[in-house]
Structure 1
Amino acid sequence: MTSLHTTRVRRRRLGVAAAAAGLFATLLTAGTAVATPDPGDAPITPKGISAGQEAEATAAIRSGEIPGVDEIVHSPNIKHLTNVPKDALKGTNSDLAFQGKYAFSGNYDGFVIYDISKPSSPKTVSQVLCPGGQNDITVSGDLLFLSTDSSRSDDSCASTSQPATEKSSWEGMKIFDISDKRNPEYVAAVETACGSHTHTLIPKRSSVYVYVSSYSPNEAFPDCQPPHDGISVIKVPRSAPEEARIVNFPVLFPDGGNPGAPANPGVSKTTGCHDITVLPSKDLAAGACMGDGLLFSIEDPVNPKIIDRVQDNVNFAFWHSATFNQGADKVVFTDELGGGGAATCNEAIGPKRGADGIYDIVGRGDHRKLVFRSYFKIDRHQADAEVCVAHNGSIIPVKGRDLMVQAWYQGGISVWDFTNSSAPKEIAFFERGPVTLDRVTTAGSWSAYYYNGHIYSNDIAKGFDVLRLDDRRTDPAKKVRMSELNPQTQPDYFAR
């Protein structure tokens, strides 16, 4: 594998063949988009591409427009410190969480704990086999939380894949005691309607509240019946996590939410939320809910109250995730066009679909509104064999500026500035070239987060990456130190 510094962001004109092959039309007319498919115990079957698409990508590599297969390229202000390949857990890498000197890596087969006290040389502390896609992961104190959104035979870590049509099948939230990082102990499980695709923590002194996001009900699923228009709220006593239980299922869409097609072609029908980000210091939450974006109050975490709701029925297909800026007057929503399984970073798709949407929060109290300002999308076109999509990221804490690092699957990692909501711009990047050129593959960065001076990325296929960002615009963030970070539970970085 080679590494190349590049001093310019190249505007690549890739993807014309995709339109001819019908991909563009497919994306525009698709019904409900879904997040990365839960494969159960079987791998996702790669999709083939046309000879024209493969030839176009080969020519782009030869001309230097895109990196070669597995080649690493990055801007001069980013240094790739190390990569830790997958070891015992071979499944898809998913989300990340942090606590002290540890990083916690979700994987469809379980989770891994790394010692990152020396970022350039992470050490594997433990690996826990506990299959259940997608194993979205968070930590709080001595507790670790793991989402299961694939139908399983039971709630144990020895479960097997089982159809959701069977009443005995289990999906939901698993809870571990991580007081001994070398020997995590599975201590509790809570079954939730439609499983737990992602979850978000609201930590309190004696308990942790968990917002469980799930979606796509079906009349054939005994434990996931329509309508599914809310979220599960779990209360977990810190001193007795085995007593964790659901305390509410607040309805967020009393009118049913976005109807999707045919009223709104190419937009997902809202049947729940994909991801929620909370800002506890401001009692605020932002929900990315399939066909809708939400702003709501969590002053009473058991009974969240909707403040505003927005839709984008022109350019957004699937509202995937949300990030507040530090000042709590902006929200970045991401669009998972193609469901995390398509090549959407090319000329055929363009700069507005499959992008981030930047919204200002205007007004006060219950009268606050989300006001759209602009889109941001990486302009480094990817090959039609590369799944590229706007995915998970976090704020880079610099006073007076709105900076973010974000994962884009095979589009790599982007660092960008949205201080001016109407004119966002990329300031740094890191990416790998295609895994292969003969078929569409799901790979690249699932999550990229800034934690205590470094960027950490969970690459779906390649493992755990650590990068250092050296730039006068972001350097002040190196002085900010956190004892814990779950990116969907955003901290007040500058609280005294």
Structure 2
Amino acid sequence: MALAGGVLVLTASPVHAAEDVKASSNVKTSSNVKLVANVPRQAPFKSDSALNSDLAFQGDYAYQGNFNGFTIFNIKNPAKPTVVSRVSCPGSQNDVSVMGGLLFLSVDESRDGDSCKSDYGSPTDKESWEGIRIFDITDKSRPRYIKAIETRCGSHTHTLVPDKSGKAVYVYVSSFGPAAEFPECKPPHDKISIIKVPLDRPKTAKIVSTPVLFADGGNGEQDNLLESTSGCHDITVFPAKNLAAGACMGDGVLMDISNREHPKVTATVTDENFAFWHSATFNNTGTKVVFTDELGGGMSATCNASIGPERGADAIYDIKSGKLVKKAYYKIPRHQSASENCVAHNGSLIPVKGKDIMVQAWYQGGVSIWDFTNSAKPTEIGYFERGPLKPRDVGGSWSAYYYNGHIYSSDMYKGLDVLRITDKRTDPAAKVRLKVLNTQTQYTY
């Protein structure tokens, strides 16, 4: 282990083989999906609180967030991923994205300082910190922590939005959960924070605007909402069309991001079956949006007959004349047990020209590959899942993304899974080679 820029960087441990996992984890897959590798969590990311979170990709590297920090993997050989470095830097959820030599982490809990050695703080303490951390990853074996930006209500997730000049990147920070007793997160919190990061001078990064998205307060009247609208949970952008889709707790929205520092909401939609608008994914041409409903907050068993196929699901919307038009719901067709937390969660497109195909995490429901080319008739074409966790009740795949021929799943407790789908509907995607993938920043392939 070593200190790099004041950050504890740990050396790698040997990779574990996929066969060992399959023998002990009750893995089930469709006939066209295969588990080709698994890298279990390693210290200091092995405690019950050190959950794996989101993923990002760049060249031959994958970056996995964890509530205790992040890991950089070399995935040049997807069947044998190796750990390049692990950085200890606690903070919920530590969702991760990358651009050039920079890595960004979202911290959505009060800490008693912004350093990687900080301890828990209190949201009622004005001196507590939460927000965005920035690392220099030029040397991937020794990442350096270079900047922290505090944001109102922290940073639950964030989205990278390239500046049109190519000289900077904007970070759209999504946060929620205001309370009158929180000095840095008071209601109404109907806004996002926007950070501008000059790529050649990242240490000068700063908040440049905090646009209010819901001047009328947003949706707070719906009976089954987990939380009323107060900011957003997640935002996905489609830069080529100057378009963004926001999943904002009680509302789904479209935004015009022509002015990167001042996005404007252009369409809003609610859904009687949605409890918590969680995330958004455009199709390959930016003419559809898949919104997810995180019914139960990710902690509950919602993939069963009693909940049904229209709650805790995806909703597919076509974009027609700037409006969102609902076409159908999609939910995995396999019922899970009462002990398995299962609900729609993070996913990405599989880049097949002329088709709309997505891979998606469903916590203990596993990973689902599904086709929504016909918006009104989505169909599953492949899956991967493990049996119920014991003795834990909460776990499973947090994120599942397709990158350069393989599916990578960030399992909260089991580590990094690498899957391969062999199917005539998805095989053309294997020829598409991306240089970077941050799933909240979408491009046409």
Q: Of residues 360, 371, 374 in structure 2, which corresponds to 1:406?
A: 360
- Residues paired across the two proteins, number: 418
- Paired residue type of 1:322: A
**Are the counterparts in 1 of residues 38 and 418 from structure 2 also a CA contact under 8 Å?**
yes
Q: For residue 318 of structure 1, what is the aligned residue in structure 2?
A: 276
Q: CA deviation at 1:162?
A: 1.3
- 1:469 and 1:379, CA in 2 relative to 1: closer, same or farther beyond 3 A? same
Structure 1: unaligned runs, 5 residues or longer: 1-66
Q: CA deviation at 1:70?
A: 3.2
Q: For residue 26 of structure 2, what is the aligned residue in structure 1?
A: 71
Q: For residue 6 of structure 2, what is the aligned residue in structure 1?
A: none
SS in 2 for 1:477: helix
Q: CA deviation at 1:492?
A: 1.8
Q: Which whole-Å CA distance do the structure 2 matches of 1:398 and 1:414 have between them?
A: 16
**Are the counterparts in 2 of residues 258 and 268 from structure 1 also a CA contact under 8 Å?**
no
- 1:265 and 1:470, CA in 2 relative to 1: closer, same or farther beyond 3 A? closer
Tell me whether 68-77 or 454-463 shows the greater mean CA deviation: 68-77
**Are the counterparts in 1 of residues 52 and 398 from structure 2 also a CA contact under 8 Å?**
yes
TM-score, structure 1 normalization: 0.83
SS in 2 for 1:433: coil
Q: Of residues 236, 244, 258 in structure 1, which corresponds to 2:197?
A: 236
Q: For residue 393 of structure 1, what is the aligned residue in structure 2?
A: 347
**Are the counterparts in 2 of residues 286 and 293 from structure 1 also a CA contact under 8 Å?**
yes
Q: What does the per-residue CA deviation read over 1:119-170, in whole Å, with 9 as the maximum and x for residues that have no partner?
A: 0000000000000000010000000000000110000000001111111100
- Summarize the alignment of residues 160-309 of structure 1 with structure 2, pairs less than 5 Å apart: 160-204=119-163, 205-260=166-221, 263-266=222-225, 268-309=227-268
- Paired residue type of 2:153: C
Q: For residue 461 of structure 1, what is the aligned residue in structure 2?
A: 413
Q: What does the per-residue CA deviation read over 1:23-49, in whole Å, with 9 as the maximum and x for residues that have no partner?
A: xxxxxxxxxxxxxxxxxxxxxxxxxxx
**Are the counterparts in 2 of residues 207 and 238 from structure 1 also a CA contact under 8 Å?**
yes
Q: Which whole-Å CA distance do the structure 1 matches of 2:443 and 2:416 have between them?
A: 24
TM-score, structure 2 normalization: 0.92
Q: For residue 108 of structure 1, what is the aligned residue in structure 2?
A: 67
Q: For residue 299 of structure 2, what is the aligned residue in structure 1?
A: 341
Q: Which whole-Å CA distance do the structure 1 matches of 2:89 and 2:414 have between them?
A: 20
Q: For residue 441 of structure 1, what is the aligned residue in structure 2?
A: 393
Structure 2: unaligned runs, 5 residues or longer: 1-21
**Are the counterparts in 2 of residues 391 and 446 from structure 1 also a CA contact under 8 Å?**
yes
SS in 2 for 1:487: coil
Q: For residue 4 of structure 2, what is the aligned residue in structure 1?
A: none
SS in 2 for 1:146: strand
Structure 1 consecutive aligned stretches of length 4 or more whose deviation exceeds 6 Å: none
Q: Which whole-Å CA distance do the structure 2 matches of 1:346 and 1:87 have between them?
A: 33
- 1:308 and 1:129, CA in 2 relative to 1: closer, same or farther beyond 3 A? same
SS in 2 for 1:478: helix
Q: CA deviation at 1:266?
A: 3.8
**Are the counterparts in 2 of residues 97 and 139 from structure 1 also a CA contact under 8 Å?**
yes
**Are the counterparts in 2 of residues 68 and 433 from structure 1 also a CA contact under 8 Å?**
no
**Are the counterparts in 1 of residues 211 and 262 from structure 2 also a CA contact under 8 Å?**
yes
Q: Of residues 319, 323, 343 in structure 2, which corresponds to 1:369?
A: 323
Q: Which whole-Å CA distance do the structure 2 matches of 1:238 and 1:399 have between them?
A: 32
Q: For residue 94 of structure 1, what is the aligned residue in structure 2?
A: 53
SS in 1 for 2:110: strand
Q: Which whole-Å CA distance do the structure 1 matches of 2:97 and 2:112 have between them?
A: 24
SS in 2 for 1:125: strand
SS in 2 for 1:281: helix
Identical residues among aligned pairs (%): 61
Q: Which whole-Å CA distance do the structure 1 matches of 2:347 and 2:205 have between them?
A: 29
Q: Which has the higher contact order (CA 8 A, sep 6+)?
A: 1
- Paired residue type of 1:481: R
- Summarize the alignment of residues 121-140 of structure 1 with structure 2, pairs less than 5 Å apart: 121-140=80-99
Is structure 2 residue 385 aligned with structure 1 residue 424?
no
Q: CA RMSD in A?
A: 1.3
Q: For residue 427 of structure 2, what is the aligned residue in structure 1?
A: 475
Is structure 2 residue 102 aligned with structure 1 residue 147?
no
Q: For residue 17 of structure 1, what is the aligned residue in structure 2?
A: none
Q: For residue 11 of structure 2, what is the aligned residue in structure 1?
A: none
Q: CA deviation at 1:462?
A: 0.2
Q: CA deviation at 1:442?
A: 1.4
Q: Which whole-Å CA distance do the structure 2 matches of 1:491 and 1:483 have between them?
A: 12
Is structure 2 residue 82 aligned with structure 1 residue 82?
no
Q: Which whole-Å CA distance do the structure 2 matches of 1:68 and 1:216 have between them?
A: 42
**Are the counterparts in 2 of residues 140 and 203 from structure 1 also a CA contact under 8 Å?**
no
Q: What does the per-residue CA deviation read over 1:402-449, in whole Å, with 9 as the maximum and x for residues that have no partner?
A: 00000000000000000011100100000000012x7x6111100000
Q: CA deviation at 1:389?
A: 1.2
Q: For residue 5 of structure 2, what is the aligned residue in structure 1?
A: none
- Paired residue type of 2:184: D
- Paired residue type of 1:447: S
Q: For residue 452 of structure 1, what is the aligned residue in structure 2?
A: 404
- Paired residue type of 1:349: I
- Paired residue type of 2:213: L
